[in-house]
Amino acid sequence: MPPQRGKTPKKNKNGSGSQTEPVEVYCRIRPLDNPDDPVCLKAVNTNTCILTPQENAIARNGQVKELQYQFQYVFDEYTSQKAVYDYVAMPLMEDLIKGKNGLLFTYGITSSGKTYTMTGTPDDQGLMPRCLDVLFNSISGLQAKKYVFKPDRMNGFEIQTDADAMMERQRREILPGLTTPKTPGRGRNHGEFGEHGRMSDPTRVEDIDEGNIYAVFVSYIEIYNNYVYDLLEELPHDPITGYKPPQSKILRTDSNDNMYVMNCVEVEIKSPQEAFEVLYKGQKRRKVAHTALNAESSRSHSIFNIRLVQAPLDANTDMIAQVQDQEKNICVSQLSLVDLAGSERTNRTKNTGERMKEAGNINQSLMVLRNCLELLRENQKTGLGKLVPYRDSKLTHLFKNYFDGDGKVRMVVCVNPKAIEYDETIHVMKFAEMTQEVLVTKSQQVKFEILEAPMIKKPPVIEDYIPMMTYSLGPTFPSLEVLHCRDEYTLDQLSDFLDERNRLKENLMIDFNRKQDQFRAQLVKIEKEYNEMKSRSHESQSVLEKRESYIQKLESRLRSLEKRQDETSRQFKECERERRELESKLQDKNMKIRQEKTEKDRLRSDFRNRLEHNNQQWEKNLQKERNKIENELEGQINEKQHKLNMLRHIVNTETDSDTPTARFRTPAPKARTYTTPGKIMSARSETDMSSVGKNPVPTPRSRTQTATVTSARSMHGLNKVGTPKNTPQYNPRHRRSRSSNAEIWLDHRPPGSVELVFRGHDCTVLQPKLKKKKSVSKLEVKDTKEATKYILTHQDIDSAGELETKLIKGNMLPTAGGGTAVVFNDVETLKQISPGSRKRRSSCPQPTDYDGDWTDVEDRCGIAIEGHSRKRSRGTEKVSRV
Ligand code: ADP
Ligand code: MG
């Protein structure tokens, strides 16, 4: 079967939507060689350190203040190697096993502890040996057989069958051992990391996919003067000078755009010990230049690459799963551990010649690294796609993928806190600060396409029962180079060697036979175990059957119970539904009740408000009415009181005026003018009989024809002006009223009417002279029997507040039914006017005197007027009524 080929899966390269993370920078401060030395840097907490300028530094750089730097973590001088590993490298190891790439480098000036941090000492190992320990601890038992994965020299791997792998093993390991004399000490001298005294790290990554098989490959390169050297390559031997100078390697890009060192030796290792052998071999070759600063100071960048190849196992065949595209079946992840050269400036090295060139180049590649990171950060900030000069140095070119593509990048900044290192340290810190702003793409966890079959635990294989068969091949084949024809020594050596080999073969045969017997015994044992298991399985079978029947019974019971449960749950649901319905009805009713109650409350309050309002209104009206009535009554009382006073006064005056002098002296309390309709004054009022029948009280149309008494008097009495002294006080002659025709008058004066009588004269103005009359205050039927005429005295206060007396006259006619009807035909009006407060109704001149005969009305008016005009001089008039 041809070997299957596999390539490193293509990594995500700045793909859209990929997550980024910053370069994580850690700071490690090494302890001082001399504890009394002044320091310029100290850790203040686990993230912060402070750089303090020294006196000379201030003077030179103008720096005066303390500088504070923050990092992912600051390890002080007391931090152990293990702690540094746990914080810095352990996550990278976990990533490596999950198929993610990582880059870890130490940066700092010479003698700042970079190599110590990266490699450490056998007693106190650094990051690199710990990584190897942890890796093998984690994948132990899951390693592929050697040479199953085979580098394809193009940065990829191919998968070989087990047979091919075995062949290769023989070819590369057993045969060379048979043909090449063993290098003295090879395989036993592990250098400073020899097995003796080495403290291995017991940590392991827990979360490991046990469905995969793993293989570890390491390579070790050095970049020196911007040349790449393979530290694991066998140096060509120069018979004269010994080793020839190594050939530099070139960098290539693989099919997935990953950078790699072409033709670089990659060694598959199966244990940490093998790894240390390789490391030691490389270290031996590492060019170490001794400088005045540090006897072991390296002028080169060393890069130790660990590549982990993994592929999923087919659970059934226990072989690597077969898929169409084998590339997708292999995952290669890489962790690069880089110990950079010292970052100090050239002039500090005090080197000359070749050394100076080295230092210059070292700084040159670090400078390029710095430029690249700065540009990368700028591009990420501004979004500009400036070209990052990765190709300017081999170092940056090789790690281009970490910054451009994906993978975690971590840097440990090593610092020697000695005060005299301040100037260099400040550059280191600035670079470190800038670096942690650079973003790199986060790696995605690798997922294999297959793994359809569920992973089952591997059954015990026959090898587990067979004791390990290890064969020593004995001494190496002697050199058969015959120096001359009598070279017995070589032949003897060969013969001894062959004898030895024969002995060894016999021993091996014995051993083989013994192991064969053991194997047979094991087989018998296995068969026995198998039979036992079989019988046990029969027993188990019957037990199982019993259990099965029991289970069936239980199941049938369970089914019936389930049925009942279903029924119950159905009923329960029904009840629940009814309950819900009732609840909803109840809620509706409650709501209605609440609404009605609210409505009732509202109506009640409305009604109460209205009632209150009405009550108030009524009370207000009543109060108003009462006030009005009270006022009216009060007015009437006052009026009456006033009239009473006047009457009293008049009576008193009358009593006092038995003599004319006395009578005339008493002035009338108030002059009055009486008006009467002219018609009545002149003759008899023509009764408008047409209207009488319709209206018991004739409309006072005659008022339009009224003339004041004053004017009447002036008309009749102008000729009497000038004789006031002879004018009688009143005219005693009274023209007979029309009502004096021997008719029987029914004089109806309602109670409370004011008497129209002059005291002592028994007459008054417009006082009707009724010969036969019967005066009543309340009309009775019997009174109407005899009477033929009817006169009603009606008194009222006019709008001006004056007393107005109306005499309403009518004929009394017997009716067919035996009753009496009154037909009104005349109205006489008597009005009293106060001259002081009243406007005169006539423009006629006021008569001053009267001398002559007056008619009834005229006389009375005249008396009144006289009274009025003379009241002050004589004071004799009396008004019959007030
Ligand atoms: P660099 O590689 O940076 O030039 P080294 O790692 O060689 O420096 O360290 C210089 C010296 O300092 C070595 O002797 C080393 O043992 C010692 N050293 C450095 N860091 C520490 C540390 N954290 N603890 C103890 N010794 C240290
Ligand atoms: Mg070093």
Q: Which phi and psi angles does 531 have, rounded to 5°?
A: -65, -40
Ligand 1 pocket residue status of 414, Cβ below 6 Å: yes
- 126: how many CB neighbours lie within 10 A of its CB? 23
- 818: how many CB neighbours lie within 10 A of its CB? 6
Q: Is 223 annotated as a binding residue?
A: no
Taking the centre of ligand 1 as the mean of its atom positions, its distance from the CA of residue 371, in whole angstroms, is 27
Ligand 1 pocket residue status of 123, Cβ below 6 Å: no
Pure H helices in 312-420: 353-382, 394-398, 400-404
Taking the centre of ligand 2 as the mean of its atom positions, its distance from the CA of residue 203, in whole angstroms, is 26
Which are the contacts of 51, defined by CB distance < 8 A and separation ≥ 6? Answer: 40, 41, 66, 67, 68, 69, 422, 425, 426, 429
The ligand placed nearest to the CA atom of residue 80 is 1
Ligand 1 pocket residue status of 296, Cβ below 6 Å: yes
Cβ proximity of 853 and 731 under 8 Å:
yes
Which are the contacts of 46, defined by CB distance < 8 A and separation ≥ 6? Answer: 73, 74
Task: Give the model's pLDDT for residue 717.
Answer: 34
Cβ proximity of 388 and 397 under 8 Å:
no
Pure H helices in 45-150: 55-61, 81-84, 90-97, 114-118, 127-139
Mean pLDDT by 10 residues, the chain (882 residues): 40 53 92 88 91 65 74 92 94 92 92 92 89 92 88 85 82 62 45 60 85 91 86 73 72 86 91 86 63 47 92 71 64 92 66 51 77 88 85 91 84 92 89 89 61 44 51 62 69 84 88 89 90 87 87 89 91 92 94 94 94 93 92 90 87 59 37 36 35 37 34 34 38 43 79 63 59 82 82 81 82 81 84 57 39 40 37 34 32
Q: What residues pack around ion ligand 2 (CB closer than 5 A)?
A: 114-115, 298
User: Which DSSP helix (H) or strand (E) runs through 305?
Assistant: strand 301-312
Ligand 1 pocket residue status of 116, Cβ below 6 Å: yes
Which are the contacts of 540, defined by CB distance < 8 A and separation ≥ 6? Answer: none
Cβ proximity of 709 and 857 under 8 Å:
yes
Q: How far apart are CA 626 and CA 633, in angstroms?
A: 10
Ligand 1 pocket residue status of 115, Cβ below 6 Å: yes
Taking the centre of ligand 2 as the mean of its atom positions, its distance from the CA of residue 120, in whole angstroms, is 10
Residue whose Cα lies nearest atom 17 of ligand 1: it is 113
Ligand 1 pocket residue status of 110, Cβ below 6 Å: yes
Query: Among candidates 680, 710, 706, 712, which has minimal Cα distance to 868?
Result: 710
Which are the contacts of 312, defined by CB distance < 8 A and separation ≥ 6? Answer: 211, 212, 320, 321, 329, 448, 450, 451
Ligand 1 pocket residue status of 124, Cβ below 6 Å: no
For the chain, the first-to-last Cα distance in angstroms comes to 159
Taking the centre of ligand 1 as the mean of its atom positions, its distance from the CA of residue 506, in whole angstroms, is 55
Taking the centre of ligand 1 as the mean of its atom positions, its distance from the CA of residue 118, in whole angstroms, is 10
Residue whose Cα lies nearest atom 9 of ligand 1: it is 113
Query: Among candidates 157, 167, 160, which has minimal Cα distance to 319?
Result: 160
User: Which DSSP helix (H) or strand (E) runs through 526?
Assistant: helix 488-656
Q: Quick one: how far is CA 733 from the chain centroid?
A: 117
Q: 338 pairs with which residues across the strands? A: 105, 303
Radius of gyration of the chain (CA): 73
